[in-house]
Amino acid sequence: MPPKSAILLAVAVFLLTVLAHLPARVLPWLLPREVHCQSPAGTLWRGVCGELSSGELVLSGVRWSLHPLSLLRAHLELHVQSEDARAAGQAELTLYPDRQLEVRDLQASLPLQGGLTPFPAAWSGTIGLAVAQARVRSGHLVALQGVITAAHLRSDHPAQELGSLALEFPPANAGAPMIGTLHDLDGPLSLQGRLQLSAAGSYELDGTVAMRDASNAGLQQMLQLLGPADAQGRYAFSVAGTL
């Protein structure tokens, strides 16, 4: 082997050896600014965050395994799994040099309680995530395809069983608003709605809701807060804001 080739081979072996032994504490340097990994353990290739947080969301026992070949394409691809008893799930993540985050094949289940969702404390139920693809840029959601369900919803004040709902986002063209359809799956409410999300973080939710059992006085009292019903007994709702 020519001396030059031998030197290049030795350098390559040395670099691969160094990379193979990089500690897990290197990974937090590569994460988006809004994502924090506390108490990392293991190696860059396979490790665990004692606590992973982003905004108000905090999970414990989040494990990852990094796909080495992704480094040749100048980004990081990881398989991530949450062992948090409150929010079990897994996903494939891709971190790009410009701090964009792509999420694929996300499957997770988490309760409404415990600070893991924006629902008020007086509500209970379970959120299910089946997200085929999502993308986050500069802290804003810019693409979303998948289904989000809210099962066994219950309000404590007043005490009412509200059934289950689903929010479905079909594939959308790049740069187009993300538009999801909201509908009931079961329970005492007949619900139809439309949620539009923009890449700037704004949202618009519009729809109608009606009672399946007109004798439920408690539920009727809740719905009357939306205003008068139309001739078919449907109550209209409209909410807009910024996430």
Query: Is 18 within the bounds of a domain?
Result: no
In a domain, 12, yes or no: no
pLDDT score, position 174: 72
**Which structural domain, as residue segments, surrounds residue 109?**
105-243
pLDDT band at 26 (very low <50, low <70, confident <90, very high): low
Do residues 123 and 30 both lie within one domain? no
Of 40, 72, 99, which closes a domain? 99
The identity of residue 57, as a single letter, is L
Within 10 angstroms of residue 163's Cβ, the number of other Cβ atoms is 20
Q: Is the pLDDT of residue 19 over 50?
A: no
Strand partners, 238: 206
Same domain, 67 and 149: no
Residue carrying structure tokens 């996300």: 106
Q: What is the mean pLDDT of the chain?
A: 82
Average the pLDDT over 221-229 and give the result.
90
Higher-pLDDT residue of 35 and 195 is 195
User: Which of the residue ranges 46-60, 134-148, 179-193 would you say has the lowest mean pLDDT?
Assistant: 46-60
Q: Are residue 150 and residue 227 in the same domain, yes or no?
A: yes
User: Does residue 15 lie in a domain region?
Assistant: no
- 220 plus 240 within the same structural domain: yes
82, 99, 116 — which closes off a domain?
99
What pLDDT, in 10s, does the model give residues 66-111?
887 777 777 788 899 998 888 889 999 998 887 788 999 999 998 8
Q: 152 and 46 in one domain? A: no
More confident residue, 180 or 199: 180
Question: Is the domain of 61 the same as that of 141?
Answer: no
The answer to the question of residue 109 being in a domain is yes
pTM of the model: 0.81
Considering its fold, how many domains does the chain have in total? 2
- Give the pLDDT of residue 10: 39
End-to-end CA distance of the chain: 61
Residue 187: name the closest of 143, 125, 117 by CA. Answer: 125
Residue 1 in domain: no
Q: What are phi and psi of 84, to 5 degrees?
A: -65, 125
Residues 73 and 187 in one domain: no
Confidence of residue 27 (pLDDT cuts 50, 70, 90): low
With cut-offs at 50, 70 and 90, classify the pLDDT of residue 28.
low
Residue 218 sits in the same domain as residue 112: yes
Instruction: Quote the pLDDT of residue 199.
Output: 85
Q: Are 40 and 156 within one domain? A: no
Q: 39-58 burial by CB neighbour count: b if 16+ within 10 A, else e? A: ebebbbbebbbeebbeeeeb
| Distance in angstroms (rounded) separating the CA atoms of residues 236 and 60 | 40
The contacts of residue 113 (CB under 8 Å, 6+ apart) are 121, 123, 124
Q: Are residues 70 and 139 in the same domain?
A: no
- Say what the pLDDT of residue 11 is: 40
Confidence of residue 23 (pLDDT cuts 50, 70, 90): low
134 & 179 share domain: yes
- 114, 224: one domain: yes
Choose one of 74, 99, 124: the last residue of a domain: 99
Is residue 13 in some structural domain? no
- The predicted-structure confidence for 132-170, as pLDDT tens digits, reads as follows 999 988 778 899 999 999 999 998 878 889 999 999 999
